[in-house]
Structure 1
Amino acid sequence: MASEKFNLFSFQGKMKILHLSWLAFFITFFVWFNFAPLLQAVKTTLGLSTEQVKTLLILNVALTIPARVIIGMLTDKYGPRLVYSCLLIVSAVPCLMFAFADSFLQAAIARFLLGFIGAGFVIGIRMVSEWFPHHELGTAEGVYGGWGNFGSAAAAFSLPTLALIFGGDDGWRYAIGITGVMSFVYGFIYYFNVTNTPKGSTYFRPKNLGAMEVTSKGDFFLLLIMKIPMYAAMALLAWKLSPNGVGMIEANVVHLIYGGLVLLYLFEVKKVWNVNKTVFEQEVPELHRYSFKQVAVLDILYFTNFGSELAVVSMLPLFFAETFSLDPVMAGMVAGAYAFMNLMSRPAGGFISDKFGRRTTLLILTAGLAAGYLLMGMVNSQWPLWLAVATAMACSFFVQSGEGAVFAVVPLIKRRLTGQIAGMTGAYGNVGAVTFLTVLSFVDYATFFYVIAGTAMIGFVTLFFMDEPRGQIAEVREDGTVELIDVSHK
């Protein structure tokens, strides 16, 4: 573990890895969110209907849930250096496909495949955890998450201008094409400038790639239960594309997708059994155990905080426009304040977590998140606009600090499984977004905010079942010797 001081203005050692990694994450989000800011231009050029545009927005996130789980597994097995580089290089292909699409079908396939780049976040969580000691880990992961996440806001601000500079009907194509080229080039830059661990450190890999390892019988069943909402979210996305939703696919195809998801879940049950059946034959020694309950609590928290962030960012401009009769540009700028908070809030959540304890920080931030959304539910046209914006920004602080605090805990559970734990937790964030946006399609804005606040209270209660990470976690080196990794102050 690198021992130099934590200095954001340094570009040496562990700080170089942090800067290169958040930039990789920034580029993945820049590419993933390159459609929404240019939506009108794409709609006009390709002659799309409003329903088809909605379909493209759904397809953009459809693959991210399974992708985060898969990418987490690959990261643990092959190392973040290789996996991040490959993801950036390969994702340039569907990005350029979308830039040159001349039909709805081509655009739909490209957007669906681009959902994979939304999994990039998971890779850096493992990379950063290899380079920073436990007492700096929350801050480092917060900087990685917060600054990288800003790629979505950067796309919103810069791509329309870039399209205008190129001009003409195809300006948007060049703007989107440039994001693909950036991703492709940066994949090589990342590969040749990072290593998975500091010199002399061991990169611990899971024993099996097929499924997440657990260390008790109870955890085996809890893992299977926690997998179900991810499949339910994918079924919900299929329903949105059905005749009951935007009508992109026929009812019999939707039923085939439902059947496929059930078979896929049963296949995953089999894989989980193959990897973990030994826990039914003999007890795992205390030294090598970890509590999957910790992962389940973090999943629920991330469902609420990142799930609500993704949902709220997409509806907030419309909310402000309708509530305060603002023009679209003004509403977009006002709503942009919510996303801007990411730059400071995620690092702040990680920093507070490093200083004051993991569980205490999460309890405070989750309570603040619930209170923030309760207030958001009360906002109406009688409020002064500045107060509504201040409420949204305060709510955003608790949401994004909470995300930082969640990922301050993720790498402290079991080092060799960090990618998989981050993948599952990250996937739950997308499950939350799908759930909250579906709720929004049935209820008014106030109820939508109250539902998120209620979900946050459930998360708050589950935190009492989470244990503060203490002492050390044990990992076995290839030569059979055991290494103890500090996860807290003695």
Structure 2
Amino acid sequence: MPILAQEKSTKLSLLDFKNVSTRTFWITSISFFMCFFAWFGIVPFMPDVVKDLGLTPDQKWNSIILAVSGTVFARLLIGKLCDKYGPRYCYTYLLMLGAIPVVLCGLVQTPTQFLICRLFIGFIGASFVITQVHTSLMFAPNIVGTANATSAGWGNLGGGANRLGMPLIAAAVVSLGVAEAEAWRYSMIIAGVICFCMGIIYFFFTKDTPKGNYSDLKAAGEMVVTKKDQIGFLEVLKDYRVWILFIVYAASFGIELTVYGTMDDYLQNTFQLERVTAGNLVLSFALMNIFARTLGGFFGDKFGKLRGLRGRVLFLSFILTLQGIVLISFSGATSLIVGVVFLIMFSLSVQMAEGATFSVVPFINKKAIGAVSGIVGAGGNVGAFLAAILLKTKSSFAEKAAITANEGLGAEVIKNAQSIASSSAVSSGYLIIGVIVVLTGLVALSIKFSKEEEQLESKKYTEEIIPQLIPINVKS
């Protein structure tokens, strides 16, 4: 489908709202933000939910696991649907249907109902895949890594912004006369309604490609999909490069989710920080998504210009290996200042690795961008799940041993022993994860592109991208 590539935007002009690529970039980024905002929206209210619904510790953990599990399956499915029906329809339906369990979460009365809602709310985590597919269709190879990384980074902010946003919504609801104990319910309903409205906006104000929607292009004969063009899902599954990127994203985004999910308690137990202080530190690192993930895509594009497709892989391997080394260093930090420095470096490197991953994804199989994006995106959640199980198991075992060893010595002594045991266990877990990430960075080097693929991209850049850039440079 070369006709689509010729009209992709060669620059990310954030204020050019008349440009369909720019307009789509903003709408898909905001939609992604709202999906993550709603997906993790219940997190700040978990103490209220536990009290209101009488959740057991196991039910609380199960709700987290269910939310992640739902996202894995949704991401695998949504990528293939994007290839067939286009990202516009897929995002519209995901936002409008995904809003239903978000709203229902505010109406649940039993733990079982809450768990079911958490499972289906997790489906909106597939929004990441559609966002990456849509920006890949809208932007040219010279800027696609930057566009993908920026839209993903800004969308990811929703997962951290809810720490501030949802309590603010709850406070506003309470000021209108709603009982404080019920505020979390109204907050979830409001978040669901906003997602539903974003679905309507997505349908009317975006297009599948710069030239038009899939349905219109097919009807006009401008997008002819022959049997040769059709790529079966099994064919995508057979490409080893897809699975390496699956593991790479598990080692980057998956580890980021797990580290930030456990960091509050770790900072408190290791450096004796107050809960509010620890929470604010973690939030500030999550907010680095505003620029850090963009940097990963930007350097991916730059290395791609200098060294071709292989250059993108080399940068991905480098930044992922650096991420693992920094996490290993952080795991052994005993000083708060040193720990914060390494945590800043970890935040920067892990988010750059995520951006660099999706500067490679669009070039694996251009006829099945959705399927590839879906599989790789699912890797992030699988990585988060496995890392969480590792840390939970080590921490739980260590804490139980500490309780047994200090039985009868008083509640305060037992609490301190638990804290020390948990800190030590999680620290060793971070060390193990860091080593795995370094090994994954080295494995990433095995991603290869054929000479034909390299030559094709070089030819496209020379014939399609440069002619579009020259008039821009002359004017400037």
* Residue equivalent to 1:395: 346
Contact 1:139 1:347 in 2 (8 A): yes
Of residues 176-185 and 194-203 in structure 1, the stretch that sits farther from structure 2 once superposed is 194-203
CA separation in 2, counterparts of 1:209 and 1:109? 36
**Structure-2 separation of matches of 1:15 and 1:471:** 31
Change (3 A) 1:186 1:7: same
Q: Output the CA distance in 2 between the equivalents of 1:79 and 1:440.
A: 39
Name the residue aligned to 2:73: 66
Per-residue deviation, 1:297: 1.9
Query: Shift in Å at residue 169 of structure 1?
Result: 1.2
In 1, distance between residues paired with 2:16 and 2:284? 29
Read off the aligned partner of 1:75 and give its amino acid letter: C
2:197 paired with 1:197: no
Measured in 1, the distance between the counterparts of 2:365 and 2:139 equals: 15
Superposed displacement of residue 4, structure 1: 6.0
Counting helix residues as a fraction of each chain, which structure ranks higher? Answer: 2
Partner secondary structure for residue 25 of structure 1? helix
Aligned to 1:458: 439
CA contact (8 A) 1:123 1:419 kept: yes
Q: How far 1:66 moved relative to its partner?
A: 1.3
SS in 2 for 1:63: helix
Q: Secondary structure at the match of 2:209?
A: coil
Q: Distance in 1 between matches of 2:345 and 2:292?
A: 10
Residue 473 of structure 2 corresponds to: none
Work out the CA distance in 2 between the residues paired with 1:305 and 1:17: 26
Match in the other structure for 1:412 = 363
Query: Contact conserved, 2:10 with 2:139, CA < 8 A, in 1?
Result: no
| Map of 1:434 onto structure 2 | 385
Larger displacement relative to structure 2 (441-450 or 91-100): 441-450
**CA 1:358/1:171 → structure 2, altered by over 3 Å: closer, same or farther?**
same
Asked if the contact 1:77/1:209 (under 8 Å) is kept, the reply is no
Task: Tell me the distance in 1 between the aligned counterparts of 2:289 and 2:226.
Answer: 32
Q: Per the alignment, do residues 487 and 188 of structure 1 end up closer, same or farther by CA in structure 2, a change over 3 Å counting? A: farther
> 1-side partners of 2:461 and 2:428: how far apart?
43
Q: 1:214 aligns with which of 223, 226, 235?
A: 235
| Residue of structure 1 equivalent to 2:332 | 378
SS in 2 for 1:467: coil
1:342 maps to which of 289, 296, 315: 289
Work out the CA distance in 2 between the residues paired with 1:131 and 1:301: 25
What is the Cα deviation at residue 486 of structure 1? 6.6
* 1:129 matched residue in structure 2: 136
Offset, 1:338: 2.4
The residue correspondences of 1:478-489 to structure 2 (distance < 5 A) are 489=461
For 1:213-251, what per-residue CA distance to the aligned partner results, in whole angstroms no more than 9, with x for missing partners? 428xxxx7xx3xxxxxxxxxxxxxxxxxxxxxxxxxxxx
The one-letter amino acid of 2:294's match is P
Amino acid of the structure 2 residue aligned with 1:434: F
Q: 1:205 to 1:340 in 2, by over 3 A?
A: farther
Residues 122 and 419 in structure 1, CA contact (< 8 A), matched pair in contact too: yes
- Structure 1 contact 471–488 (Cα < 8 Å) conserved: no
Q: Secondary structure at the match of 2:235?
A: coil
The CA deviation at 1:160 is 1.5
Q: Which residue of 2 aligns with 1:173?
A: 185
Q: Whole-Å Cα distance in 1 between the matches of residues 59 and 29 of structure 2? A: 33
State the Cα distance separating 1:38 from its structure 2 match.
Answer: 1.1
Asked whether the 8 Å contact 1:320–1:335 carries over to 2, the reply is: no
The answer to whether the 8 A contact 1:350-1:407 is kept is yes
Structure 1 41/186 Cα, relative in aligned 2: closer, same or farther at 3 Å? same
Aligned counterpart, 2:90: 83
- Give the structure 2 partner of residue 272 of structure 1: none
Are the structure 2 counterparts of residues 428 and 5 from structure 1 closer, same or farther at C-alpha, using a change threshold of 3 Å?
Answer: closer
Q: Could you list the per-position Cα deviations for residues 136-155 of structure 1 after superposition, in whole angstroms to 9, with x for gaps in the alignment? A: 00000011110001111111
Deviates more, 1:203-212 or 1:46-55: 203-212
Pairing 1:423–2:374 present: yes
Moved more, 172-181 or 36-45: 36-45
The 8 Å contact of residues 370 and 453 in structure 1, kept in 2 or not, is answered as: yes
Partner of 2:16: 10
| Residues 91 and 205 of structure 1, relative CA distance in 2, 3 Å threshold | farther
**Letter of the structure 1 residue corresponding to residue 12 of structure 2:** F
Q: Does 1:49 align with 2:51?
A: no
Deviations 1:446-475 (A, max 9, x none): 22111221211221221221125876599x
Question: Deviation at 1:2?
Answer: 3.2
2:393 aligns to what SS in structure 1?
A: coil
Cα RMSD after superposing both structures: 2.3
The question of whether the paired residues in 1 share the 8 Å contact of 2:293 and 2:354 is answered with: yes
Residue equivalent to 1:309 = 256
Moved more, 354-363 or 42-51: 42-51
Structure 2 gaps, min length 5: 1-6, 175-179, 304-310, 395-424, 463-476
Equivalent-residue separation in structure 1 for 2:432 and 2:460 (angstroms): 35
- Flag the 1:180–1:440 CA change in 2: closer, same or farther, 3 A: same
- Find the residue that maps to 2:13 and give its secondary structure: coil
Q: Distance in 2 between matches of 1:17 and 1:158?
A: 24
Kept in 2: contact 1:409–1:469 (CA 8 A): no
- Specify the SS of the correspondent of 1:442: helix
SS in 2 for 1:62: helix
Change over 3 Å in CA distance of 1:320–1:26 after alignment to 2: same
Shift of 1:487: 8.5
> Superposition pairs for residues 355-374 of structure 1, below 5 Å?
355-356=302-303, 357-374=311-328
Assess if the C-alpha contact under 8 Å between 1:471 and 1:489 holds in 2. no
The structure with more radius of gyration: 2
TM-score (norm 1): 0.78
CA offset digits 1:259-293 (Å, max 9, x no partner): xxxxxxxxxxxxxxxxxxxxxxxxxxxxxxxxx23
The whole-number CA distance in structure 2 between the counterparts of 1:406 and 1:7 is 23
Tell me, what secondary structure is at the counterpart of 1:329? helix
2:258, 2:388 within 8 Å by CA — same for their partners in 1?
yes
Q: Which moved more, 1:10-19 or 1:405-414?
A: 10-19
1:51 positional shift: 2.5
Structure 1 residues 327 and 458 mapped into 2: Cα distance closer, same or farther (>3 Å)? same
